[in-house]
Structure 1
Amino acid sequence: MREEPQASPYRPDPAILPLAPWLADRVEAARFPAATLRYRNDRWDRAVGLDELDEAAWIDHFARFAPLAGNLPQPLALRYHGHQFRVYNPEIGDGRGFLFAQLRDESGRLLDLGTKGSGTTPHSRTADGRLTLKGAVREILATEMLEALGVYTSKTFSVIETGEELWRGDEPSPTRSAVMVRLSHGHIRIGTFQRLLALEVRDHMAQLVDYCLARFPGPQPPPDAPGRDEPAVILMHQAVERLADLAASWMVAGFVHGVLNTDNMNVTGESFDYGPWRWLPTWDAGFTAAYFDHNGLYAFGRQPEAVHWNLGQFAVALRLLADAPPLIAALERFGPLYMAAVARRWCWRLGVAQRGPERDGALVAACEQAMRESGIPPDTFFHRHRGARNAEGALAEALAGYRPTAGDDASYWAEAPPESMLIDEVETIWSAIDERDDWTPLAEKIAAVHRMGDALGAPPAPEGHAPG
């Protein structure tokens, strides 16, 4: 069974407050004309001690943003810069969201409650600071599917419809509005560090590094790593390990994030901020998610390259604190860590025990070739061949000697069709809401995705990677 979040008492810890004067702007939430609760994450509300809130209190905190007890007294819109499609932009930051609260889960992990669609901030520029209800529904579907497929992802915590009509150029308008709250393992981005480099504030950079090391603990660098005792070098190693595993998890899930800018890279290695995402209909390295990604910079097969490039920008930012060679040495670990993570996660999703780097690498290559040649959807492929079943030809040869994972739930894998999250199904779920206010297909899809996640079980995690 997939590991369930453990119940925890409410444990507020607004740890970011000492950094807030230079890291964020205090803001006010928008006043919405209506507040109708549409989604509440009843798996994760108990993990942070908020499961006993009744609906009125939930709406008060997550639509009107009354502060939680002992927590941030006022929302904070975080400041950051970033490379957007590899063009540096200093004019960004939280433009339609803010950090609302920080709390601890049962394991002591520090988690953030952040918003999307909560109104304008000093970083909104010409935007309205709002979120469409369709965008919120898409984020529910993305996070639920990714969590089930073992990706370390933010969790959609709350969606409340807000009664406004929004105009958007990329969907039929006017359209319904919502405010969303996500539960995340921090909101410190590569772009957060890039801003401090641009401003040349070394003392703030050092404070932020110390904050990350203390609040998001991870493994130490390898014993032979140069500069392994320097805080900035330690953080670089941790980010490389975490983001190598994240990139691998997207690839094994067949997921295309769509917008891998440096302001969308969390140094905790958690995937978040879902806009034009897609799942692969077929195994196609050139498949893109964003209609505006004209050159395929963030195409499916280029996602590891994009993450590596972003980590290179992180190393550049940390040069404010450390010499280049130790940071480069950390960055050079990305390739081997990524390949090891792909093999580890591939075998997990396929339901077989690993046999070593050479054999596992050959297995991954054989599976990819089989999908390309047959055109079989990735979700169908992993479902059909779970536990090394139903293999023929070159795939059978590659799977020879692999044993099924002990305790696998054979009954689930005998069923058909497999769960997927292709765009046509997403649009059908949204149409039921938009046209008939029918939320049943969404609820049924979430339940089915949970069942798949239970059958897959918890993914294998590298050392130092916090459980999702």
Structure 2
Amino acid sequence: MRTLSELTFSNTYSELPSVFGTQIKPQPLTDPFLVSVNPKVCTLLELDLDEASTDYFVDLFTGNDELHGFSPIAMKYTGHQFGQYNPDLGDGRGLLMGEVLTSQGEKWDIHLKGSGTTPYSRQGDGRAVLRSSIREYLGSAAMHGLGIRTTHALAVLSSTTPVYREQVERGTTLIRVAESHLRFGHFEYLFYTNQHAELKLLADYLIRHHFPDLLQQESDSTPNRYAIMFHRIVSLTAEMIADWQSVGFAHGVMNTDNMSVLGLTFDYGPYGFLDDYNPGFICNHSDYSGRYAFNQQPSIALWNLSALGYALSPLIDKSLIDEALNTYQAQLQLHYSKRMRNKLGLTEKRDQDSDLYSEMFRLLANQGVDYTVFFRTLSTIPKEELASSIPHFEGLFSCTTTLSQWLQHYATRLELESINDQERLRQMQQSNPKYILRNYLAQQAIVLAEQGDFSMVDKLLLVLTDPYSEYPEYEDYAALPPQWGKELEVSCSS
């Protein structure tokens, strides 16, 4: 493990031409202090955890000190927001501080969110607040714990700097760590401004740093490397969306400027995990049309990929773009089916499985059954006890007749499996989390944090890091949410 001054940097993005962003320093926060640090992200960076308790760490990531090796840059991009192209986007409250190289040759972006105004702030103050920073900090930890590709958050730091939203809040910074911060919107920016040479340069940059195997694949008899690159992005996006749907995660703002070219869950705003199973769940209070509802995410991802394909059209023949897009649905279904089989303890694909899934989802939707608790409960019941397992689901169903029928169909399906029952239950318990980041839990942690008590943030971080394990002392975090907890409204405001 290394100290901050011992980190190795390779700031490749800041070496690109000036059209890709603006070099600028973060603006200091007053009386800064540490809220929480994620030990697992320290490990990713090979950073000594004790560094986070130093004044230097706090000052460095609140704009009050500088680190040799950082080369801060506000990235320029554009994108489609709620289906409309917006040319006036970019890092309006964040900076790519630098790129850390590990001893294994891995490269990690260090991005400071809430760092102050940039040329892309659009009359904003460039600041983040405690509540939105805690939500991203815990949200990214939760997704990583669920085994879903995501950006990470190293730490949250706050201050006495006043930030004016609906009320006066604390100016806060979040240290985001990611393999890359390249978004669909980076390519859209260069396409719509007719900077096609720079578009090619960015595609080459992406391939060189993240898909280096493609450098050896191009020949006269194969599609060009940019077409293969786009295929790769389609595949990564399909897998990400399948993962989201399987755990009941709704992103809330799937604009193209919030879509990662590496299939990372990116830009945590008004996201939410399903409580009661509701396919039309809208987690963003500002999404009046339901464009980004839970059940719309697969089609919206394809829409976004089409927008990216159009932006890449100077590099890729339209037929090859369409060919890649046409693989999306099959890949999405492939990954989703695998996830759902794991959740139900099935190892073999059978023709009748789609009927079993459909019947189950109708049952959950019709009775508003808690998505996470249902699957976790199911993963504790041996096959021979399924017929008499109704008491296990007490409090989840208002009518158990249809549940009993489905359990019979499920037990019959399990008879076709060669896997032993102990192994089935183990597989299910490693695929169905006991703990998810429910909105009301995040809100309780935020209220305490705003009062200076960060203990619940750290407790949630612990259980979300490994949500499949048992934590008897935090059993309340796995309980059904109170009714008021299901009705919280979350918007993009931060």
Query: Take 1:117 and 1:165, find their aligned partners in 2: how far apart are those partners?
Result: 13
2-side partners of 1:167 and 1:92: how far apart? 21
Work out the CA distance in 1 between the residues paired with 2:106 and 2:250: 28
Q: Size of the alignment, in residue pairs?
A: 442
The partner residue of 2:361 within 355, 361, 368 is: 368
Question: Map of 1:334-345 to 2, 5 A cutoff?
Answer: 334-345=328-339
1:155 to 2:155 alignment? no
Cα deviation, residue 345, structure 1: 2.0
Which amino acid in the other structure matches residue 441 of structure 1? M
Match of 1:394 among 364, 385, 409: 409
Of residues 300, 313, 316, the one that matches 1:306 is 300
- Aligned twin of 1:215: 209
Aligned to 2:492: none
Could you report, residue by residue, the CA deviation over 1:377-420 in whole angstroms, capped at 9, with x for unpaired residues? Answer: 11112211227746513333444434369868869959x99323
Q: Secondary structure at the match of 2:158?
A: strand
Task: Return closer, same or farther for 1:408/1:452 CA change in 2, 3 Å cut-off.
Answer: farther
Of the structure 1 ranges 114-123 and 48-57, higher mean CA displacement relative to structure 2 is found in: 48-57
Q: In 2, are the aligned partners of 1:258 and 1:277 still within 8 Å (CA)?
A: yes
Mark the CA change 1:160 to 1:105 in structure 2 (over 3 Å): closer, same or farther.
same
Native 8 Å contact 2:214 2:225 kept in 1: no
Report if aligned partners of 2:252, 2:269 keep a CA contact under 8 Å in 1: yes
How many angstroms apart in 2 are the aligned matches of 1:405 and 1:65?
Answer: 57
Structure with a larger share of its residues in helix: 2
Instruction: Map residues 128-147 of structure 1 onto 2, 5 A cutoff.
Output: 128-147=125-144
Alignment pair present for 1:63 and 2:35? no
Q: Distance in 2 between matches of 1:218 and 1:334?
A: 22
1:421 pairs, out of 437, 445, 453, with: 437
The SS at the match of 2:99 is strand
The one of 278, 290, 296 aligned to 2:272: 278
Whether the aligned pair in 2 keeps the contact of 1:152 and 1:271 (CA below 8 Å) is yes
Alignment deviations for residues 80-114 of structure 1 (CA, whole Å, 9 cap, x no partner) = 11000001000111000010111234553322111
Q: How far apart are residue 271 of structure 1 and its match?
A: 0.7
Cα distance between partner residues in 2 of 1:404 and 1:47: 36
Q: How far does residue 434 in structure 1 lie from its aligned partner after superposition?
A: 2.5
Name the SS of the counterpart of 1:126 in structure 2.
coil
1:28-85 CA distance string (max 9 Å, x none): 211211210111121111221222635223123312274544x343x10000110000
2:92 maps to 1:95: yes
1:349–1:27 Cα change, 3 Å: farther
Report the AA paired with residue 439 of structure 2.
Answer: I
Cα pair distance change 1:453/1:65, threshold 3 Å: farther
Q: Quick one: structure 1 residues 21 and 227, their matched pair in 2 at CA, closer, same or farther if it must change by over 3 Å?
A: farther
The structure-2 alpha-carbon separation of the partners of 1:42 and 1:290, relative to structure 1 and needing over 3 Å to count, comes to same
Report the CA distance shift for 1:230/1:423 in structure 2 as closer, same or farther (over 3 A).
same
| Match status 1:175 vs 2:169 | yes
Give RMSD over aligned pairs: 3.2
SS of 1:114's equivalent in the other structure is strand
- Report the counterpart of residue 202 of structure 1 in structure 2: 196
Equivalence for 2:463: 448
Say if 1:227 and 1:326, in contact at 8 Å, map to a contact too. Answer: no
| 1-structure distance, mates of 2:31, 2:14 | 31
Change (3 A) 1:406 1:314: farther
Q: Deviations over 1:288-333 (max 9, x none)?
A: 0111111100000000111110000011001011210011101110
Task: Report SS of the residue matched to 2:155.
Answer: strand
Q: Is 1:433 aligned to 2:476, yes or no?
A: no
Residue identity in the other structure for 2:240:
L
Letter in 1 for 2:338: R
Q: 1:127 pairs with 124, 129, 137, which one?
A: 124
Greater Rg by CA:
2
Contact 2:130–2:446 under 8 Å retained in 1: no
Structure-to-structure mapping, 1:369-384, within 5 angstroms: 369-384=362-377
2:250, 2:283 within 8 Å by CA — same for their partners in 1? yes
- Contact between 1:227 and 1:233, CA under 8 Å: does it hold in 2? no
| Distance in structure 2 (CA, Å) of the matches to 1:227 and 1:291 | 50
Task: Quote the Cα distance in structure 1 between the aligned partners of 2:100 and 2:64.
Answer: 16
Is 1:343–1:360's contact at 8 Å kept on the other side of the alignment? no
2:84 alignment partner AA: V
Residue 259 of structure 1 aligns to a residue in which SS?
coil
Q: Quick check: 2:435–2:468 contact (8 Å CA) kept in 1?
A: no
Q: Does 1:322 align with 2:316?
A: yes
Determine the structure 2 residue equivalent to 1:22: 19
Alignment CA distance shift 1:387-1:183 (3 Å)? same
- Asked if structure 2 preserves the Cα contact closer than 8 Å seen for 1:343 and 1:364, the reply is no
* Contact 1:340–1:357 under 8 Å retained in 2: no
Residue 422 of structure 1: CA displacement?
2.1
Task: Give, in whole Å, the separation in 1 of the partners of 2:423 and 2:8.
Answer: 36
Change (3 A) 1:407 1:357: closer
Instruction: State the distance in 1 between where 2:133 and 2:443 align.
Output: 13
| Alpha-carbon offset, residue 285 of structure 1 | 1.4
Per-residue deviation, 1:20: 4.3
Q: 1:102-147, CA deviations, whole angstroms, 9 ceiling, x for partnerless residues? A: 1234553322111211100000011111111011111122112111
> Given the superposition, is the C-alpha separation of residues 413 and 187 from structure 1 closer, same or farther in structure 2, using an over 3 Å criterion?
closer
Q: Structure 1 residues 104-113 or 179-188, which shifts more?
A: 104-113
Structure 1 pair 80–443 and aligned structure 2 pair: CA distance change class (3 A): same
Question: Which runs of no fewer than 5 residues in structure 1 stay unpaired?
Answer: 456-468
Q: State the distance in 2 between where 1:419 and 1:325 align.
A: 44
- What's the counterpart of residue 187 of structure 2? 193
User: 1:150: how far off?
Assistant: 1.7
Change (3 A) 1:210 1:65: farther
More displaced stretch, 192-201 vs 158-167: 158-167
Identity score, percent: 25
CA distance in 2, matches of 1:365, 1:305: 19
